[in-house]
Amino acid sequence: MKAKILIADDSASMRSILKDLLLRNGFDVAGEAENGKEVLALYEKIKPDVVTLDIMMPEMNGIQILKEIKERYPESRVVMSASMGQQELVVEAIRAGADDFFIKPVQTERVVEAIEKALHHRDSIFSTK
């Protein structure tokens, strides 16, 4: 079964790039969101396996969204996306519960690796119970 991914990025072009990349690598893109409110609403509706979450979003930044998702859904898996120069925010996101991250402009191998890591992490948590 293909992993369901929710793409969250305020840039339509970045969502398109990620969607194409994920589909070509065997993932199911179950939804796309361009702001924090959409992310939370779609998460509730589709229960994705992994969310790719831009660290800089309108209305709520990525770290606020991450914290909200983790509070509501502790089992959630979130991979942050960030631009060069946002290392401090990435560290903050990892501390807040992000499973991994990738830097934009995206490299296919790194995005797939981050999502696989998040999926594996979830599987290892569930297999220990």
Which CATH number characterizes residue 114's domain? 3.40.50.2300
pLDDT of 82 reads 96
Tens digits of residue pLDDT in 87-122:
999 999 999 999 999 999 999 999 999 999 999 975
| Cα-trace Rg, the chain | 13
Q: What is residue 21's predicted lDDT score, i.e. its pLDDT?
A: 98
| Model pTM score | 0.92
**Other C-beta atoms lying within 10 Å of the C-beta of residue 124:** 9
**Total number of domains in the chain:** 1
Q: Which two tokens stand for residue 42?
A: 């779609």
The Cα–Cα gap between 26 and 107 comes to 16
CB 31 within 8 A of CB 42: yes
Residue 69 belongs to what domain range? 4-127
Q: What is the pLDDT of residue 36?
A: 94
Bridge partners, 50 (sequence order): 5
85 in helix, strand or coil?
coil
Structural contact between residues 82 and 89, judged by C-beta atoms closer than 8 angstroms: yes
Q: Which residues of the chain have a pLDDT value below 50?
A: 124-129
Q: How many CB atoms lie within 10 A of CB 123?
A: 11
pLDDT of residue 127: 39
